[in-house]
Structure 1
């Protein structure tokens, strides 16, 4: 069954006035939301309207000479940055270039598609373009969160997830997101977690499916949600939602923010999962199922607080996890150190 259509908001909605209101009205639902026109009044968006060159020239105003890593792909790849067939490497090269040179290559490919494609991903704006963040602030994002930029020719980023909340806003060009819910993971045929294109594991099936090789992908495909974003439009994605991202114009610029909107401390759930893998994943099935019952009881809490039958003052460190966070973390650190 296909997923329900996404909620769409206009950029003028009251829930989009500040980060606290956005957290209460949107983030807590853990569902993707399209926000039309959220970034239409940003200076970067206004500067980009005349032409791709104008979009890139605006960014170069903030350039202070730091050279980012740049992906370059053969024209035959049609901008799909991915593995080679046997997963031994990738179908693109990485190099460091001045921003001005990288941008010139993007413009050259836009005029002549026989030239290699060029792509810069996850460019931390304060590090590479100081001043950009202050000039292009989005009110619904906590002010401490650093913006990143994704700049390049037509491209496809393979379906992957982020371990953080993600707000993505189109500055120039257009983007198409294909979304899959977190529980589609088993139908997406995920690649290795330690040999990735840009940090996160990616689906091997989405984007170019071979149903003979990946038959379960049909189930994921039936649940896919397609979102088209024009200049100024934004998409909010909760953590763990799978998303393939296609940049559709000859030159594209996207602004995004990542932050953990529901964290109670510095520990990342994904690290807990990695530790659970090495501690539990290859034990006998009956033992794994026993630990699953304990995880369901203590962590996922489908039946409420695990010590609800006790008075609150008798629940020990589990009585208030936020208040006892430091104590529990210290217990864990001592145990991992063997002390």
Structure 2
């Protein structure tokens, strides 16, 4: 595996004021060491894994959650199948407690299958846990999600919302790439991916530089960190991130907020509008496509106000 060496900036047991000022008001990722160290689940995970698992079993509502399973030969990497017309995992719905029982059993296997519950709403599967695990940085109506599994790798992808992810049990490695590295990440299909958003086709563990030569440029801009129980990471929306669970049983809680820029269902979301633009402009002659690029740059993306020369009452849809 290629190991990017540039660290993500860190704050050790930061105060709420520090996080608000230096983290949430920036567009840079940050590691928040020990920020949820006092959570009961974290304390149990550090003291006795069996007690932590029993706590979750006792609080499981019995509601079904989405879970995936990969055969051992995939090494835990969530990806496409060999023909790229499907995925390399099977998906099932079952109670969280059943997944936990599987994970405990698989700790005895030399090369176990990879199993993961991904993005399960805690208000659905663990509602009674929420009162003891409060994220004071965010509004109380932002409901966390839980991720539970053994050694699983989620390939480089993006979220359309800001994200704070808190490690409860096990270690996780995060490798982040800034948004402008998109061209060097070799992104897969926009409308068919094993995750809710498109992924990089490059295997970060074993990158094929002959096939993906510019990936070496992306790695020069990568930032990386390994999180321990009690640590959290702030990932701004549209930052690409690769996430790897490193231990036999790994648990993470995360919070997405600020709306979703990456909704495929909402045609007025930035991503939905981008998809419409792709369909609208793909068949235009190259010169016209280039011309429309200038129009979009001027009206949509320019830092300068495109109507600054007009009276404010005439700004119309250009009003900022």
TM exceeds 0.5? yes
SS of 2:64's equivalent in the other structure is: coil
Show the counterpart of 1:147: 144
Contact 2:175-2:224 within 8 A present in 1 as well: yes
Contact 1:190-1:204 within 8 A present in 2 as well: yes
Contact 2:153-2:242 within 8 A present in 1 as well: yes
Contact 1:120-1:151 within 8 A present in 2 as well: yes
Shift in Å, 1:143:
1.8
Contact 2:42-2:229 within 8 A present in 1 as well: yes
Show the counterpart of 2:318: 318
User: Counterparts of 1:70 and 1:317 in 2: how far apart (Å)?
Assistant: 44
Contact 2:8-2:224 within 8 A present in 1 as well: no
Using a 3 Å threshold, how does the CA distance of structure 1 residues 3 and 286 change in structure 2: closer, same or farther? farther
Contact 1:152-1:251 within 8 A present in 2 as well: yes
SS of 1:103's equivalent in the other structure is: helix
SS of 1:255's equivalent in the other structure is: strand
Show the counterpart of 1:254: 252
Using a 3 Å threshold, how does the CA distance of structure 1 residues 106 and 3 change in structure 2: closer, same or farther? closer
User: Counterparts of 1:266 and 1:72 in 2: how far apart (Å)?
Assistant: 32
Shift in Å, 1:132:
2.2
Show the counterpart of 1:238: 236
CA displacement 1:266-322 (0-9 Å, x = unmatched): 9421112111111123322211221111111111123x21111122233234334xx
Shift in Å, 1:261:
6.7
Q: Which ranges of structure 2 fall in alignment gaps of 5 or more residues?
A: none
User: Counterparts of 1:24 and 1:267 in 2: how far apart (Å)?
Assistant: 31
SS of 1:81's equivalent in the other structure is: coil
Show the counterpart of 1:218: 216
SS of 1:121's equivalent in the other structure is: strand
Shift in Å, 1:190:
1.1
CA displacement 1:198-219 (0-9 Å, x = unmatched): 3111111142322222222121
SS of 2:47's equivalent in the other structure is: coil
SS of 2:251's equivalent in the other structure is: strand
Contact 1:178-1:224 within 8 A present in 2 as well: yes
Shift in Å, 1:103:
0.6
Q: Which ranges of structure 1 fall in alignment gaps of 5 or more residues?
A: 17-21, 321-339
Equivalent of 1:203 in 197, 200, 204: 200
SS of 2:55's equivalent in the other structure is: helix
Contact 1:3-1:223 within 8 A present in 2 as well: no
SS of 1:142's equivalent in the other structure is: coil
- Does the alignment pair 1:86 with 2:86? no
- Does the alignment pair 1:178 with 2:175? yes
SS of 2:212's equivalent in the other structure is: coil
Aligned residue runs from structure 1 range 1-339, under 5 A = 5-15=7-17, 22=19, 25-207=22-204, 208-260=206-258, 267-302=268-303, 304-320=304-320
CA displacement 1:103-143 (0-9 Å, x = unmatched): 11111112223332211110111111112223211111222
User: Counterparts of 2:133 and 2:8 in 1: how far apart (Å)?
Assistant: 26
CA displacement 1:216-273 (0-9 Å, x = unmatched): 212112222111111111110111111110101110000101112798x994211121
Q: Taking structure 2 as the reference length, what is the TM-score of the superposition?
A: 0.90
Contact 1:174-1:228 within 8 A present in 2 as well: yes
SS of 1:97's equivalent in the other structure is: strand
Q: Taking structure 1 as the reference length, what is the TM-score of the superposition?
A: 0.85
Aligned residues: 312
